[in-house]
Copies of this chain bind each other. A is one copy, B any other.
Amino acid sequence: MGRWEPGARGRLAKAALELFAEQGFEATTTAEVAKLAGLTERTFFRHFADKREALFYGMEGTGELLVRAIADAPPTATPMEAVDAALHTVGAIIQEYPERARLLDAAVSAHPELKERELIKLAELAATMAGALRDRGVGEPAASLTADAGMAVYRVAFARWTSEPGEPDLPGMLRESMAELRGMLAA
């Protein structure tokens, strides 16, 4: 989730993802990452504490983005509409960098350890969204339920987006998945 920076940091993160996807996370050394980026290993460690940090580069700002979008939703928005708006904000950014998202997905899918890290990351983001809803005056358990259900919508939409051929549209898939969930619960 996030943009490539044009500088050394962005190049290192991109090289890391390419190598992780190609040869696995464990098998990749920071020296190889630096070499592919045309930089030294020392430069790598000036930008990242370790390989894992390079993997999730760009996701640091996601929580903040979600919080701001939920806070900025109009006062008339329902909690789920606020969450929906926040997911669309993030989805639109990811949509701009499909190559990055697919590399991350390929690296994560191939590695149970990275899958676990991603799962934890998403759970943390859901908790962050629940907090932002409580700041809007939404009570519990409504806040946590809405945030968790929203995260389920995101995960399913993202999985479809990375697996479908052609140029699928992540915001569109978020919309479809949300409509689908509403339908599943309307019965």
- Point out residues on A near B: beta carbons under 8 Å: 78-81, 116, 119-120, 123, 141-142, 144-146, 148-149, 151-153, 155-157, 159-160, 176-177, 180-187
Contacts and interface: CB of A to CB of B under 8 A. Distances in A.
Given A149-B181, A177-B141, A187 B156 contact: no
A112 to B, nearest CB: 9
22 contacts: A78-B184, A80-B185, A116-B116, A116-B120, A119-B119, A119-B120, A141-B160, A141-B176, A141-B177, A142-B180, A142-B183, A145-B152, A145-B153, A145-B177, A145-B181, A146-B184, A148-B149, A148-B152, A149-B152, A149-B184, A181-B185, A182-B185
A71 to B, nearest CB: 18
Contacts of A80: 184-185, 187
A145 to B, nearest CB: 5
B156 A145 contact: yes
Contacts of A120: 116, 119
Contacts of A148: 148-149, 151-152, 155-156
Nearest to A173: B141
Contacts of A177: 141, 145
